[in-house]
Amino acid sequence: MHPAPRLTCKAYLELLRRDAWAFEEIARRQAVQFIWQEDKLVVDYHGDSLSPAVQQWGNGAGSWILEKMNFKTEMVELWLAAQLVATGPKIFRPSPEQCLALEQVAPRIPLAAYLQPYSVMLVELPEAYCQSRRCPLPGGFLGQTHSPQGVLIGFHPPPVGAVWLTVVFDSGTRGRLMFLPMDLTLEDGIVREFGEGSYANPAMATREERVILAGVTRVAANAMLLLSLFGCKSLGPAQEAHYHRLEHHLQAARKRGRGTAEAERELRLAPRLYGFAQDITLHDDEHTGTGEAGSGEPGDGQTRRPHWRRGHVKTHAYGPGRSLRKLIFIKPVFVNRHLLAWGESSAQNTYQWR
């Protein structure tokens, strides 16, 4: 028996590309709408506004997303996918080191202050980080595992004012999360979902799925906030040669006078990479000795174990009458990383720190 193929971010985008014509129509006609009614988020799916072909697709090829029409998170994922296809995939690829730092940052940002560079982005997680976050597959056979590959994150502006995420695992399963204005901050929403002890311990391999989901949620949300804070720039197509071929095909289609819409769609669906507009360091290192007077550690003569001192993103009031708000980033600090001895059995040893 051959093992099932892994669902990577590239494969996930290919699934969306195959049905791009349907997603485009759903986005164009705003078939998925969200409204507040008595402090409850209501999802309206206007399937009758769509063409017969897309309605039939919803009961056939697209059933992997539309299989539960009355399930709110399925509709949220449909909205995310439709927006991603309509505007083109915008991908942020953090390094393993950046992932480790970002999952140790508490996003203490109210929904009203949340920002991200584009309405929907895909955070593609690096392979080293993915392997270190491999965990048992829920409902699978003994020994079966899976790992997160990426996070589709979207922000629906007010009056909805919500942050939605889909975590894509290589097993094909997806974790769906939503944060609404009733959460005081994004961090409060993460703690509500995953509990207080939802931060990964750097001294041991992480195997608990709730901690992994909490970590990748913080990675994605903090990435969006810091891209907004420090600037987000286009790094160009993910596959430059392929992108130029698609440009040539579009020019040829325009000269022929046919196939233009399909060629434009293929070019728009070519993933583009985005990164920080400036070089930044997302964490600091600190070496401490034994707990001595003035060190800030208890004076018990013991060397402190390697650990993270968590960072956070918060809003800061300033200006006339403190009426204005700006984002402040407090870096996490990796304390005594030089003492961390990762054994061969730990997936953490794949990281190249520098």
Residue % of the chain over a pLDDT of 90: 55
User: Residue 140 in contact with residue 150, Cβ under 8 Å?
Assistant: no
Is the confidence at residue 134, as pLDDT, over 80?
Answer: yes
Distance of CA 149 to the CA centre of its chain: 10
Q: Where are the domains of the chain?
A: 1-88, 89-231+278-291+305-354
Cα–Cα dist 63/82, whole Å: 14
What are the tens digits of pLDDT across the range 1-32? 445 578 999 999 999 999 999 999 999 999 98
- Total residues found in the chain within this entry: 354
What are the tens digits of pLDDT across the range 154-201? 999 888 889 999 999 999 998 888 898 888 899 999 999 998 889 988
pTM of model > 0.85: yes
From 39, 62, 154, select the one nearest 47 (Cα to Cα).
62
Q: Is 8 helix (H, G, I), strand (E, B) or coil?
A: coil
Cα–Cα dist 211/202, whole Å: 12
Phi-psi region of 262 (alpha: psi -120 to 50; beta: other; left: phi over 0): alpha
User: Residue 211 in contact with residue 194, Cβ under 8 Å?
Assistant: yes
Spatial neighbors of 32 by CB under 8 A, at least 6 apart, are 26, 43, 44, 45, 46, 75, 78, 79, 82
Average pLDDT in the chain: 84
- Per the model's pLDDT, the better-predicted residue between 204 and 152 turns out to be 152
Q: Determine the pLDDT at residue 251.
A: 94
